[in-house]
Amino acid sequence: ATTLRDAATSRGVLIGSAVATGPLRDDAAYQAKLGAEFSTVTPEDDMKWARVEPVRGQYDFSGGDRLADFAAAHGQTIRGHTLVWHHSLPAWLTSGGFTADQLRAILKAHIEAMVTRYRGRVAIWDVVNEPLAEDGTLRPGFWLDNLGPGYLADSFRWARVADPTAKLYLNEYGAEGGTAKARGLFALVTSLKAQGVPLDGIGFQTHKLDTTRLSGLADTMRRFAVLDLDVAVTELDVRMPLPANADRLTRQADVYGWAVSACLAVPRCRSITTWGFTDAHSWVPDNYPGWGAAALFDEGLSAKAAYYRVLTTLTGW
């Protein structure tokens, strides 16, 4: 295989990337690489609530629509991201002084608006993002604080009605190994399934460091698969202290390779999505000063060791 997507197709999985707003609009080299190498795309920011409805009642779907058009032109699946999150909410919502009943109606209308808009185009939705705290209990935040735990089941049910064919995921970070959060997630998902909540899959974000020993991911995914759920690696990246050097880049390749191997080892693992494919557009340096070089391609879009490791892991020879 000459591209990641050809190699992934031959193994029955999708390989993807988060897509940044700016270069999708105006960087031809970025677009060419994205179209050639990846079979699934996720909007890094363009479907988040703060982005799509900055002013109440005035939806701006321009970024999401651009991604949907790109994906259609390149035969790519879209993972929609994300409907219900405590972060990246518009100020009119968080400081609007709404009652719980009002917020519930606003959330329902938002889910309906997004899922209906992209029905038939977004195949998979991250319905709920990051609902858990590190100790495995429900994470305090805007929705839990205002609506209580019922917002979880409600959100999946509303999404299912709006598009019965979309796969509905819960997406979480730090649940890749045998952590307290992973155990809490398992308990939560078991309970949601027992209530008949329409949940189809679990996304494991997998934001890691070059020094991470990524053991336990396949085992964790298998546990969730036993609950009759799909699983996916949804936000893979591997950051390192800057400047990058050959040792760090080799360790980074190891971590990428382990993540891909884990997915290939679990029949219900559908896709591996990287959280940005080039170091030129990555959330890492802004959020972890002094860190970066987390992606498969460098700032000039040259393939790094991690790219070749992912490719050879996918091909298997």
Nearer to ligand G3I among residue 205 and residue 271 (C-beta): 205
Phi, psi dihedral angles at 255 (to 5 degrees): -65, -45
Nearer to ligand G3I among residue 63 and residue 136 (C-beta): 63
Question: Binder to ligand G3I among 25, 56, 87, 119 (CB under 6 A)?
Answer: 87
Question: How far apart are CB 267 and ligand G3I at their closest, in Å?
Answer: 26
Q: What CA–CA distance (Å, rounded) separates 280 from 257? A: 22
Question: Binder to ligand G3I among 45, 112, 219, 298 (CB under 6 A)?
Answer: 45
The whole-angstrom distance between residue 136's C-alpha and the CA centroid of its chain comes to 20
Per-residue interface string for the shown chain with ligand G3I, residues 213-232, x marking contact by CB under 6 A: --------------------
Q: How many CA atoms lie within 13 A of 117 on its CB side?
A: 19
Helix axes 100-117, 150-162, angle to 10 degrees: 30
> Considering 44, 130, 172, 176, which one is annotated as catalytic?
130
Nearer to ligand G3I among residue 66 and residue 193 (C-beta): 66
Of the candidate spans 43-51, 158-166, 262-270, 302-310, the one that interacts with ligand G3I by CB under 6 A turns out to be 43-51
Q: What CA–CA distance (Å, rounded) separates 111 from 125? A: 10
Helix axes 180-194, 217-226, angle to 10 degrees: 10
Instruction: Determine if 27 is a binding residue for ligand G3I (CB under 6 A).
Output: no
Question: Binder to ligand G3I among 4, 8, 24, 44 (CB under 6 A)?
Answer: 44
Which neighbouring-strand residues pair with 124? 79, 167
Contacts of ligand G3I in 47-66 (CB under 6 A):
48
Are 207 and 274 contacting, i.e. CB atoms less than 8 angstroms apart? no
Per-residue interface string for the shown chain with ligand G3I, residues 167-186, x marking contact by CB under 6 A: ------x-------------
Instruction: Give CA separation, 235 vs 16, 79, 141, 147, in Å.
Output: 9, 11, 22, 28
Q: What CA–CA distance (Å, rounded) separates 168 from 12? A: 20
Question: How far apart are CB 145 and ligand G3I at their closest, in Å?
Answer: 19
Nearer to ligand G3I among residue 79 and residue 104 (C-beta): 79
Q: Would residue 37 show up in a list of annotated catalytic residues for this protein?
A: no
Question: How far apart are CB 157 and ligand G3I at their closest, in Å?
Answer: 23
Contacts of 76 (CB under 8 A, 6+ apart): 16, 35, 38, 39, 40, 41, 70
Residues that bind ligand G3I (CB under 6 A): 44-45, 48, 87-88, 129, 173, 205, 235, 283
